[in-house]
Amino acid sequence: MANKTLSILVAGPDSASTRPLVEGLTEGVSGTGNIRVTAVEGFADLTARAAALAPDAVVAALGDADRTTLDGLFRLARSGGCAVVLFADRAEPGVTAAAVEAGVASFVVDGLRPDRVRPIVDTALSRFAAFETLKRERDEARTQLAERKLIERAKGILMQQKSLTEEQAYTALRKAAMRQGRRIADIAQSIITASQIEF
């Protein structure tokens, strides 16, 4: 992250609550790259602001946040668009578990000191990036598996309809894909769709 300018959206109920976050993110920090901090008061339009700014992280001082505010922050975390770091004076039973379930990168209770903010945010950003990599790899693996199943099914259809061997069916799929400039899985899907049409 040293070569990139980090964009951080800081939120809190008022300027007194956001000040330690801003100070912790911007003052006395060296060797960790550039950082752009945008501070907002209130949580009402936080999701819209996050969508407009596309920050790397949203860092919020909750104060005495109500359930609606928490639900909004949890929705923001679930969206997966950025890391969400929450600092709370206290947490009701179950709130921490709900935060973890929602994908909040870090939930700190009774620990908002300016000197702790940047290390916590850096750790949360690293954790968020690692989690996003895992999700991407999982999604790619699922896509590959689904595509393999499509190709196997299309090969079976070609083998049955055209009396081809498995190798000949795959070669036919590959040649069709090259000829049409499409992916083999797309050709396979077309064959499966065509085979399902009843006359």
Highest mean pLDDT out of 50-64, 118-132, 150-164: 150-164
Between CA 19 and CA 26 the distance in angstroms is 11
CA quadruple 165, 166, 170, 171: dihedral sign: negative
For residue 116, name the pLDDT band (cuts at 50, 70, 90).
confident
Lowest mean pLDDT among 80-94, 151-165, 183-197: 80-94
Between CA 48 and CA 5 the distance in angstroms is 21
pLDDT value at residue 198:
59
pLDDT value at residue 28:
56
Tell me: the pLDDT tens digits for 29-46? 544 468 899 999 988 888
Quick check: 154 and 192 in contact, CB under 8 A?
Answer: yes
Mean pLDDT, rounded, of the chain: 86
Between CA 3 and CA 17 the distance in angstroms is 29
Spatial CA neighbour of 104 closest among 92, 118, 121: 121
Residues of the chain with CATH 1.10.10.10: 140-195
Residues of the chain with CATH 3.40.50.2300: 6-136
pLDDT value at residue 45:
84
Considering the segment(s) 6-136 as one domain, its CATH architecture is: 3-Layer(aba) Sandwich (3.40)
**Does the domain spanning 140-195 belong to CATH 3.30.310.50?**
no
**pTM for this prediction:** 0.65
Does position 195 have pLDDT exceeding 80, yes or no?
A: yes
* 188 CB neighbour count, 10 Å cutoff: 25
Highest mean pLDDT out of 24-33, 75-84, 154-163: 154-163
Does position 79 have pLDDT exceeding 90, yes or no?
A: no
Q: Which is higher by pLDDT, 175 or 196?
A: 175
